[in-house]
Structure 1
Amino acid sequence: MNLVSLPITAIYAALSAFLVIALAANVVRYRLSKHVSLGDGGHKDVTRAIRAHGNTVEYVPLALILMALLELNGASDTALHIYGITLVAGRALYGYGMLFPKPSANLPRQIGVVTSWLVILAAGVQLLVI
């Protein structure tokens, strides 16, 4: 049996897991404070907490899969760390921007979205050329 080791991807998977749990706990905190059992109960702050968590859960798995495939295919440690740091930092900024919103789309949210897209796009392109 061949064992595969993906130590760099594992670091960012663990950090992403901590972020997902923190965002999920925030949803629970808001729901408990508003006495909401399911959904958002019509509360905008609960909706924002749900979307901060949901958006992270939507983007992180694909980015981590791409990183794992790159690591398996011999991508440089530097590239993997750049992708990982960018992903986790961007997701944290997005969560912050969703939880402390301004009247319109704010800079932390915008940076979070753009960095996630860039990681997924760059890793996808790199997979095609290595």
Structure 2
Amino acid sequence: MNGFHGLLASAGVLGGLFALLTANVFSQRFKAGVKLGTGGPEHQALLVAVRTHANFAEYVPLCLLLLAGDLYGGAPAGLVVKAGWVLVAARVAHVFGMQLPAPNKSRAAGALLTLAVLVGASLEAVYLAI
């Protein structure tokens, strides 16, 4: 498996996870009878589902874009692929952590690992561009 296929595999897993998070938002909306927004404090499960989904959508696309650019720009394929799988692990940890009372180690680890991938991929992109 080359770098492209390795990164593509992790992106595919992340896409599947995003689809599950989307389905969870739909399910929580249906259960709460809320069509728009989060329905206020009495619908905590919907709020958690929406924020988990939104947090994923805020970070994962940019991380994947940066990793793909790094790979295209000549970064070591093994490093990029490993970063892609770290991102998968980070997002899974974050999803589980969002289901627990805050603060918790799973949510913190997911957030910190996601940030590490984002910063690392960003720095590599700048390095490769100059």
- TM-score (norm: length of structure 1): 0.88
Q: How far, CA to CA, are the matches of 1:93 and 1:17 in structure 2?
A: 16
Aligned to 1:101: 100
Instruction: List gaps (5 residues or longer) in structure 1.
Output: none
- For structure 2, the residue ranges without an aligned partner over 5 or more in a row are none
Per-residue deviation, 1:22 = 0.5
Identify the range of structure 1 (106-115 vs 9-18) with the bigger mean alpha-carbon deviation: 9-18
Counterpart residue type for residue 78 of structure 2: T
Deviation at 1:8, TM superposition (A): 2.9
Task: Give the paired residue count.
Answer: 124
Q: 1:54 offset after TM fit, Å?
A: 0.4
* 2:47 is the alignment partner of 1:47: yes
Letter paired with 1:10: L
Alignment counterpart, residue 16 of structure 2, candidates 15, 18, 37:
18
Query: How far apart, CA to CA, are the structure 2 residues paired with 1:119 and 1:72?
Result: 17
Query: 1:69: which partner in 2?
Result: 69
Cα RMSD (Å): 1.5
Moved more, 39-48 or 57-66: 39-48
Shift of 1:101: 1.7
The amino acid that maps onto 2:93 is: L
Partners of 1:22 and 1:49 lie apart in 2 by 11
State the Cα distance separating 1:80 from its structure 2 match: 1.1
Aligned residue number for residue 30 of structure 2: 32
1:115-130 maps to which residues of 2 (within 5 A)?
115-130=113-128
Q: In the TM superposition, what whole-angstrom CA distance separates every residue of 1:80-125 from its partner, at most 9, and x where no partner exists?
A: 1221111111011111111x221x3111111111011100101111
Which whole-Å CA distance do the structure 2 matches of 1:36 and 1:58 have between them? 23
Match of 2:91 in 1: 91
Structure 1 residue 57 displacement after superposition:
0.5
How far the C-alpha of 1:20 sits from its partner, in A, is 0.6
| 1:82 aligns to 2:82 (yes or no) | yes
- Distance between the aligned counterparts of 1:69 and 1:9, measured in 2? 11
